[in-house]
Amino acid sequence: MEQLSGLLRQLNQQLGQDFPSEAGFRRIRLTVRHRLTAMLLEWLAAQTVFPQFYWRHREGQQEAAVCGSAKPFSHPSQAQAFVNTYPKARLWGLNAFDGDALLLLPRLEIFSRKGKGELILNLFSEHSLRQDAEAARAWLENLVVARPIADLRVKVRSVKHQPERSGWEIMLRDALKAIDRQQMDKVVLARSSLLTLDSPLFAPALMAASRRVNHQCYHFMMRIDASSAFLGSSPERLYLREGHHLLTEALAGTTANHANEHQAGRLAQWLLQDVKNQQENLLVVDDICQRLQGGASAVDVLPPEIVRLRKVQHLRRRIEGRLNHCDDADCLQRLQPTAAVAGLPRQAARDFISQHEPFQRRWYAGSAGYLSAERAEFCVTLRSCQIDGEQIQLYAGAGIVAGSDPTEEWQEIENKAAGLRTLLQPE
């Protein structure tokens, strides 16, 4: 950790320069031309300054630890306006299912990408950069070195589902009736499971445990304070934007995974050929393509593929195109929530969810990631949970279309929730 401590000392020294006593934005950046030796999650977990945000790409080539807030944003449009004004800024955080946001210009950002690292200290003030530099210098004094994250040592005392099994079947039958009446083509129904533990859960410990076993997933964690956090390990990209190039995907259609390779392969082949799952996936593809109309050109849909995870397998089609404008607020408005987490038509499905689900989704089925002038990437916040001390709200959902079976869909959300639940309650 000496490498990181030395870099932080360099940042502190640069704060000694003479900053103007006027409003503005300033970014102090140190680059590391080789891989950071620091364990970013362990470093972030040791800090006592909040908020904190952790991010790791599903392919492992990007990782970030950010903490502190030089400026928060409660809506993507506010964040986009800031980036338009200050193109060097990079903002991190969450977008809720209902459109609200918790996006941050962090005080400190440690970012590793493709083997190269950088540390960025952000200064922003509507009055005096000099005063903010002084505040940043005092803030840096609170940072400490990393220490190992202890293994999870909690026991689940109780589990309560919302809805319970009988309520789920009633809700699903109501959805099938609405689909039969052609009020909608698809709706994604979710369940929240309240787990009460024998002691408060240290969120980074759950994040570390999930990262070890849930591969091919984006890992994200927003810690509001020492006891409250939202985190997850999601297989689904909402979108990646590099300049005007956009890459998104339809991840819809699910079957179980299996430890036996031959059996897993049989399940994957069934998923590729199953009419119901193909229909569910193509509904999402069609919706994404329609939502990109007017905002992108040369949209192309790639052939279907199987994404194999620890507990489930998914059907995925990648979609790419060229954006007319580099506007992430517009991308988020067009693509979130996708038909894979809400349904079709979007508003009819959202109305049904609002009227029937017995809980508020908040950050679940929203998005997590970052945006900047040059590049942005967000994942869909699936396989996720809200931690508040010794209580955890664990979320999972299933896409309902004509022909969906209540028993099969209940088993699907059981399989999806198991990605995190089994870390706390081993099978």
**Positions marked active-site:** 186, 236
Q: CA 35, CA 117: separation in Å to the nearest integer?
A: 6
Q: Long-range contacts made by residues 107-110, C-beta under 8 angstroms, separation at least 24? A: 107/49, 107/67, 107/68, 107/69, 107/70, 107/136, 107/139, 108/11, 108/66, 108/67, 108/68, 108/140, 108/143, 109/64, 109/65, 109/66, 110/4, 110/36, 110/38, 110/40, 110/43, 110/64, 110/65, 110/66
Q: CA 78, CA 89: separation in Å to the nearest integer?
A: 13
Plot region of 407 (φ>0 → left; ψ -120 to 50 → alpha; else → beta): alpha
Phi/psi of residue 148, each to 5°?
A: -60, 145
Is position 280 annotated in a ligand binding site? Answer: yes
**What are 56's two structure tokens?**
């790791």
Do the beta carbons of residue 370 and residue 377 sit within 8 Å?
Answer: yes
Which residue has 């954006």 as its token pair? Answer: 323
Q: CA 147, CA 52: separation in Å to the nearest integer?
A: 16
Sorted by sequence, the CB contacts under 8 Å of residue 105 that are 6+ apart come out as: 69, 70, 71, 72, 73, 82, 89, 91, 122, 124
Q: CA 106, CA 124: separation in Å to the nearest integer?
A: 10
Is position 374 annotated in a ligand binding site? Answer: no
Residue list for the binding site for Mg(2+): 280, 412
Residue list for the binding site: 280, 412
